[in-house]
Structure 1
Amino acid sequence: MTTNHTSLNAGFVSLVGAGPGDPDLLTVKGYRVIQSADVVVFDRLVSRDILSLAKPDAEMIYVGKKLDYHCVPQDQINQILVEKAKEGHKVVRLKGGDSFIFGRGGEELETLAENGISFEVVPGITAAAGATAYAGIPLTHRDHAQSVQFITGHVQKDGREIEWSSLAQSNNTLVFYMGLKQSGRITDKLITHGLDENTPCAVIENGTRKEQRVFQGALNTLPQMASEAESPALIVVGSVTQLHDKLNWFS
């Protein structure tokens, strides 16, 4: 637990990763913290089953985001956490997946630290680990990939370009978060920088949920697969995706 200097009547914030979708993947600590919260500030992808764990009198604040639309801007979310904690509440900031992997959890904690609010972090199973496991796609495998890289499909905040050349020249498994809309660009950049257009890949839609679907193909068919999938979805590039047919246990 990370504790900061704070006033005697200030509350406390728990940053909790809810996991990728299946409510059974919530951690035991996450379960306990949610049940004791006075205020739950939650994102769009948190399941109703997990939200139902909160106390009946807990204040539930929705701050979900989806592509090209933010219900509540990030700076306003940060302020909500500060204000609720300063009112003396036990606050849970509940995010899908893991809060520190493309979840802006670090930004929110920076704001809390700057305002003298005490906090803790409860990790969650990130979508890349959960969705691929439920799809029977090992992220690493001695015969296929010795490492894995997680990449955001969104344009970086400062406009910097992804290091496409290093991604394309590696034998890693590549996992793109939030990449459906950028699938054509991802394909073009990887092929342009040297990755074989026949490299196997997959798109996992609604990973770990009962409605999960897995699309398989080659890199040059990725835009077509992405057009058939709906958000939330992950793009996985690498030969490990070929193991889906053999290892698929969840269907």
Structure 2
Amino acid sequence: MFNYELSIMNCELSNHYHSYVINVANQGYWACCRKLIILQTVFIDLATFMNKTSNIIKGDSRGYGKVTLVGFGPGDPDLITVKGLKALENADAIFYDDLTNEEFLRRFEAEKVYVGKRSGKHSAEQDELNQRLYERAAKGDNVVRLKGGDPMLFAHGREEIDFLKSRSVEVEVVPGVSSGFALASLLQIPLTHRGLARSVAFVLGHGQKIQTPNADTLLYYMGGAYVSSIAKALLESGRSADTPAALVTNVSLPSQNAVYTTVGDLRYAVFRDTPVLIIVGEVVGFEAEPHAGKTLLFVDEKVDLSEVDKIRFSSPSSVETFRHIYSDDVPKRLLLLASDQETFDAISKI
């Protein structure tokens, strides 16, 4: 209907233009020329505007390609969706980051562009990435932005959509399995459970102020360096120190590992393995007891750390002894626990 109305307007404007030419023809040669030049300019500008408007309504992106945001899932390539695979197969270029599998990407003919982000430079790099996606689409390429997890959960998805759509680039989003959902299924920890948990919240695990939503189950993303801060915030908000918690790394991969603990123990804790998800809530208790692991109270002797998943330190001096014995050979998967702030400061340097 809109395009039909534009056609009618064009015809009417053309008729008015020729009528005006006849009316000014008797006003003298130079007067006629001046008015016709002005009128012609106005009509050209108006016609250009109407054509652009018509193209936008029809979805014409001036020969632009398309950008598809695809969720790769938590890490296991088998968990990507069929629709995501089809988008990769039809892509001219695939922009990927650290949370995807490079070996998996080799099966696709598209050009692969690594766009991993370094800590502290996310904002500037995101702006640059937005521009690069636009430039490839402007050349007519079908572009896939492959993201770990789901494109719309802690993934800058809407920022990319807004940037591209503001430049008339078509954008499609293909959902992916978020790491939080994968964690629940793979560890058999329900995010909700009748009579125990009726709400769940997904929370960013870092920032100036750690949020503690009033939900039964909490999932903290990207909080590895802030384990202690998260626990302290939870305790201050009223969570019991006995609330079960788990730190899960490399969800869905062969190297997946889970360390079970409590909010109270995490108050003075350091965990150095990444990427990590932290799940907090009574539902963790379903798996916490059978997989409690072994906690070592460190004394001044060397032990086999392969069978240990948590080490508790009673003083700064015990930390120094531990560092002297093990040097830099301390597995990152270990959860280091301190009894007080001073000891915590010491283990933070390991």
What is the TM-score of this pair, normalised by structure 1? 0.86
Deviation at 1:138, TM superposition (A): 1.1
Instruction: Tell me by how many angstroms 1:163 deviates.
Output: 4.7
Opposite residue 125 of structure 1, the aligned amino acid is: V
Gapped runs of 5+ residues in structure 2? 1-56, 292-350
Report what 2:156 is aligned to: 104
- Report whether the alignment pairs 1:81 with 2:133: yes
How many Å apart are 1:35 and its aligned residue?
1.1
Cα distance, 1:96–1:118 mapped onto 2, change above 3 Å: same
1:190 to 224, 227, 234: 234
Q: CA deviation at 1:235?
A: 0.3
What corresponds to 1:65 in structure 2? 117
Contact 2:216–2:282 (Cα < 8 Å) also in 1: no
Residue in 1 aligned with 2:221? Answer: 177
Alignment gaps of 5+ in structure 1: none
Q: Distance in 2 between matches of 1:114 and 1:135?
A: 42
Task: Return the offset for 1:147.
Answer: 1.2
Are 1:20 and 1:130, in contact at CA under 8 Å, matched by a contact in 2? yes
2-structure distance, mates of 1:236, 1:13:
33
Match of 2:248? 204
* Aligned match of 1:31: 85
Paired amino acid for 1:53: R
How much does 1:71 deviate? 11
* Segments of 4+ moved more than 3 angstroms: 3-6, 66-72, 161-164, 223-226, 245-248
Which residue, out of 86, 91, 113, partners 2:165?
113
Deviations 1:107-138 (A, max 9, x none): 11110011110111000001100122112211
Measured in 2, the distance between the counterparts of 1:72 and 1:6 equals 30
Q: Which has the higher helix share?
A: 2
Report which stretch shifted further, 142-151 or 60-69.
60-69
C-alpha contact 1:201 1:219 (8 A) present in aligned 2: yes
| Conserved 8 A contact 1:40-1:93 | yes
Percent identity over the alignment is 37
1:54 corresponds to which letter in structure 2?
F
Q: Which has the higher contact order (CA 8 A, sep 6+)?
A: 1
Over 3 Å counting, the alpha-carbon distance change for 1:163 and 1:77 in structure 2 is same
| Structure 2: distance between partners of 1:126 and 1:135 | 14
Aligned CA distance change for structure 1 residues 221 and 28 (closer, same or farther; 3 Å): same
SS at match of 2:246: strand
Tell me, yes or no, if the aligned pair for 1:215 and 1:225 is still in contact at 8 Å.
no
Deviation for aligned residue 1:50 = 3.3
1:243 to 278, 286, 293: 286
How much does 1:242 deviate?
1.4
Amino acid at match of 2:69: L
Q: In 1, Cα distance between the equivalents of 2:270 and 2:99?
A: 19
Equivalent residues of 1:46, 1:96 under 8 A apart: yes
Cα distance in 1, alignment partners of residues 234 and 159 from structure 2:
30
Cα deviation, residue 143, structure 1: 3.4
Q: Which amino acid aligns with 1:216?
A: Y
Verify the 8 A CA contact 2:261 2:288 in the aligned structure 1: no
From 217, 234, 247, give the equivalent of 2:277. 234
Cα 1:102–1:204 change in 2 (3 A) is: same
1:90 is aligned to 2:133: no
The 1-side partners of 2:144 and 2:61 are apart by 19
CA distance in 2, matches of 1:4, 1:221: 60
Q: In 2, Cα distance between the equivalents of 1:74 and 1:206?
A: 24
Structure 1 vs Structure 2 CA RMSD: 2.3
Of 165, 172, 196, the residue aligned with 1:144 is 196
Cα offsets for 1:178-235 (capped at 9, x unmatched) = 01111111111110121111110001100111100000011022266651x5111100
Q: How many residues are treated as equivalent by the alignment? A: 235
